[in-house]
Chain A
Amino acid sequence: MISATLKRVAPQLVILAVVLLMNFAVFPGFFHIEFQNGRLFGNLIDVLNRGAPVALLSIGMTLVIATKGIDLSVGAVMAIAGAVAAAVVTGGGGWLTALLAAIAAGLLCGAWNGILVAILRVQPIVATLVLMVAGRGIAQLITEGKIMTFLNPGLIHLGAGTVAGIPTPILIWIAAGIIVTAIVRGTALGMLIESIGINETASRLAGINSRALLIAVYLISGLGAAIAGVIVAADIKGADANNAGLWMELDAILAVVIGGNSLLGGRFSIVASLIGALIIQSVNSVILLSGMPPEFNLVIKALIIIVILVIQSPRIKHTLYLLRASAGPAPRETTLHDTDPVAKESRP
C-alpha cells in the first residue's frame, strides 16, 4: 500500500525536489532550520506554513474533481468564513465559537453547491460560479465593506501561533490531510467517489447513493475553505472581504492538476495534491528568494502549468505509449504512466 502510494506520487516528489534544489541554488541557507523563542524558523518551515491555505483547499478540491466536478467558490467561501469569524469575535464571542460559526458558514456554502449539483443537476462549473460571484458580496455585507480587525488571541493563534514550536497552520493541514485520507481510503468511500467520476449513471445503477456522496464532497470542500479562510484572517488579524482567498480557487485546482489528478474525474490521490500545493508554494519561494522581480511570478507559473499540461495531455501520453510499445516487448514502467489510470488498465 505504501509502496503503491510512493510510486503514484513519485513524479510529484521529483518535481518538488527539483524546485527545492532550485531554492537551495538561489539561496544556500534555504534548508537551514533553527529553534528560537520556542518556535521553528527557516525557509522550509515558511513554505509549509504559507502553503497551508492552498493545501487545505486542495484536499476538498481533489475529491470534488474526482467526481468530475469543480468548485470555483472556495475563494469566496474563504472570504465569508473569515468575515464570520471576525464578526463573532468583535461581537464578544470566544475563538471556539468563532471557529465553529465559520465552519458552519463553510458547510452551508458547501451544502448549497452540493444541492445545486446533486439534486438540481446543474453543471458544477455553473453551480459554483453563482457563489463565486455572490460570495464576496455576502462577505462584504458581513464586514460592512471594511477590513474587520480583531485582537482575540485564541483566534490569532490559529493563523500565527505555534504548538510545540511548529506553526499551527502546518499542523492543521497535515491533520486534515491524514483524517480525510484515512476516511476515504480506510473505507470504500474513496472508490465509490472515483466510480461516480468515471460513470455516474453506471454507479447509480450499481446501487451507489451518488446524491449523498456528491453533496458530501462539496461539504468537505466548503469545510476546508472555511478553515483556510479562518487561518488567512487570523494571520493578518483581520477579515478582508475583497482580497482574502482571491484567486485561490485557481491555485487549488492547479495543485490538484499538478498532483496528476485528471480534471475528467476518476482516480485521485490526496497526497499528490498536497505535494502539488507545496510545489506551488516552493515556486513562489524561488521567485522571491532569487530576487527576481515578483512581476515574473505569474509568467513562470503559467509556463509551468503549460509544461505540466502538455506532459499530462492524453494525446502526448498516447504517443509516448505507442513509442514505448514499439521500442521493445517489455516496456519498462516509467513515472509518466502511473498517473494515468486509463493507460494502466489498457496496458497488455
Chain B
Amino acid sequence: MIRSPRLPLYITIATFILAFAICVSQYPAMLSTRVVANLLTDNAFLGIAAAGMTFVIISGGIDLSVGSVIAFTGVFLAVVMRDFPVHPLVAFAMVLAITISFGAAMGAIIHYLEMPPFIVTLAGMFLMRGLAYVMSTDSVPVTHDFYNTLQGIYWKAPGGGRFRMIGGLMILTYVVAMIVLHRTKFGQNVYAIGGSPVTAKLMGVPIAKTTIGIYAVSGGLAGLAGIVYSLYTSAGYSLATVGVELDAIAAVVIGGTLLSGGSGFVAGTFFGILIMGLIQTYIVFDGSLSSWWTKIVIGGLLFAFIMLQKGLSWATTMRRKPAAEFATRS
C-alpha cells in the first residue's frame, strides 16, 4: 500500500475519520444527520470552488481570483435581478458565461504571454473584486420567489438532518469532476501538463487548449460557487468571501494534491473540505474556543500535510536510487 500513489488520499480519509471519531467521543451529539447535513450545506460553495482549484493545482498553476469571482457573482445576480425583470435561471446562465470566459481569458494570458499564473490571477482577483465594488458597495438582498422555491428543496433524513439542494449540488460537482479528471482525455492532459509541461508538449498534448480549459473550469466552478453562495445567503455583497481562495488552496493541499502539480485527487479535496468544516463545527460545539483557533489548526494541518508529501517523495527517491545505480553500471 505504501507504494500506491493513492496513499495521500487514504491518509486524508483516515484523518477525517479519526477527527470525526475524536469529535464524537467528546460530544456524542455530533454523531447526527443534522451535523452531517449542515457540514455539507455550510461548505457547499467552498467545496465547489475547491474542486475547480484542484484542476488548476494539478496542472501546476494557481488561481487566486476564486474568492473575488464568488463575490462578483453574488453582487451581479442581486443587482441584475433587482434592476431587470429577469428570471434567476437566465441570470445564472449570464453569470456563468461571464465567469467561464473570464477564466478562459486568464488562461489565454497565462499561456500566450508566458506569464506566471500567480500574478495573472492576482490581477484577475483585483479586477473582479473591483467590478463587484463598482456595481454596489452595499449588501443587496435577493427577493425572488424562485429563490425561496430552490431554498425550500431538501430531503429530511431520519434524525432531523436536512440535506439541502446546494449540498447535493456540491456532491454532484465532485462526481462530475472525478469523471472528467480520471476518465477523459482532458483530465489526462491536465495531469500531463502538471507533471512536466515540456514532456507534455513533446508528447503532443494541446497545451494552449488545455491551459485555457483548466482556467475556464476554475472560473466556471467559482461562478457556480457564487450562485450557491447567493442561494445560501440570499444576498450579494462585494466584501463577501474575502480569502476564500486560500481556504480552497488549503483544502486541496490537505486533500493530498501536490502543489507542484502532476499528482492529486478530487476526492481528496472533498475530504479536505470536510476536515476544515469539521474543525469549525467542533469549535462551535465547544463554545469556549475562539474562532481564530480555526486558522491556527488549519495552518498546522497544512504544515503536517506538506511535510507528509515531502516525506513520501523522499522515500520514493530513496527507493529508486539502487535501481538507477544499477542502470548506469550496466
Interface residues, chain A, with chain B CB atoms under 8 Å away: 70, 120-123, 125-127, 129-138, 140-141, 144-145, 241, 250, 253-254, 257, 263-264, 293, 295-303, 305-306, 309-310, 313-316
Contacts and interface: CB of A to CB of B under 8 A. Distances in A.
A296 B130 contact: yes
Contacts of B127: 298-299, 302-303, 306
Nearest to B113: A313
Contacts of B116: 263-264
B118 A263 contact: yes
A120 B303 CA distance: 12
Contacts, number: 120
Contacts of B113: 309-310, 313-316
A134 B304 CA distance: 13
Contacts of A299: 126-127, 130-131, 133-134
Given A122-B306, A301-B130, 18 more contacts: A70-B118, A122-B310, A127-B306, A130-B306, A131-B299, A137-B294, A137-B295, A140-B295, A253-B122, A257-B119, A295-B133, A296-B134, A299-B131, A306-B123, A309-B120, A313-B113, A313-B114, A316-B113
B58 interface: no
Interface residues of B, number: 43
A264 B115 CA distance: 10
25 contacts: A123-B260, A133-B246, A134-B295, A134-B300, A136-B295, A137-B295, A137-B299, A138-B296, A145-B290, A145-B291, A241-B292, A250-B122, A250-B125, A293-B134, A296-B134, A299-B126, A301-B126, A302-B126, A302-B127, A306-B109, A306-B123, A309-B109, A309-B115, A315-B112, A315-B113
B310 A120 contact: yes
B182 to A, nearest CB: 24
Contact of B123 (A138, A241, A297, A305): A305
B151 interface: no
A70 B118 CA distance: 10
Interface in B89-122: 109, 112-116, 118-120, 122
Given A126-B259, A263-B116, A299-B131, A305 B122 contact: yes
Contact of B130 (A144, A253, A302, A313): A302
B154 to A, nearest CB: 33
Interface of B: 62, 109, 112-116, 118-120, 122-127, 129-131, 133-134, 137, 246, 249-250, 253, 259-260, 290-296, 298-300, 302-303, 306-307, 310
Contact of B299 (A134, A296, A313): A134
B115 to A, nearest CB: 6
Given A123-B259, A130-B303, A295 B120 contact: no
Contacts of B118: 70, 125, 263
A52 to B, nearest CB: 22
B115 A141 contact: no
A264 B291 CA distance: 37
- Ranked nearest first, the 8 interchain pairs of A and B with the lowest CB-CB distance are A134-B299, A298-B130, A137-B295, A299-B130, A302-B127, A302-B126, A140-B292, A295-B133
A36 to B, nearest CB: 35
B259 A125 contact: yes
Nearest to A299: B130
B106 to A, nearest CB: 10
A146 to B, nearest CB: 11
Given A140-B292, A295-B137, A133 B115 contact: no
Q: Of B292, B306, B310, which is in contact with the most chain A CB atoms at under 10 Å from its CB? A: B292
A126 to B, nearest CB: 5
A309 B290 contact: no
Q: Of A133, A263, A306, A314, which is in contact with the most chain B CB atoms at under 10 Å from its CB? A: A133
Given A263-B116, A313-B113, A133 B302 contact: yes
Contacts of B300: 134
A133 B299 contact: yes
B126 A298 contact: yes
Nearest to B135: A295
Contact of A141 (B119, B296, B310): B296
A190 to B, nearest CB: 23
A137 B122 contact: no
A141 B296 CA distance: 9
A129 B126 contact: no
Contacts of A134: 295-296, 298-300, 302
A315 B130 contact: no
A250 B243 CA distance: 12
Nearest to A263: B116
A82 B119 CA distance: 28
B171 to A, nearest CB: 26
Contacts of A135: 299
Given A129-B249, A134-B300, A295 B134 contact: yes
Nearest to A126: B259
A314 B295 contact: no
Contacts of B253: 126
Given A134-B296, A140-B292, A309 B310 contact: no
Nearest to B295: A137
Contacts of B126: 298-299, 301-302, 305
A62 to B, nearest CB: 15
A313 B292 CA distance: 40
A131 B300 CA distance: 9
Given A305-B122, A309-B115, A132 B130 contact: no
A140 B99 CA distance: 35
A234 B293 CA distance: 26
A92 B102 CA distance: 53
Q: Of B130, B253, B290, which is in contact with the most chain A CB atoms at under 10 Å from its CB? A: B130
Contacts of A141: 292, 296
A134 B306 CA distance: 14
Nearest to B290: A145
Contacts of A133: 246, 250, 295, 298-299, 302
Contacts of B246: 129, 132-133
Given A263-B118, A302-B126, A315-B112, A129 B302 contact: yes
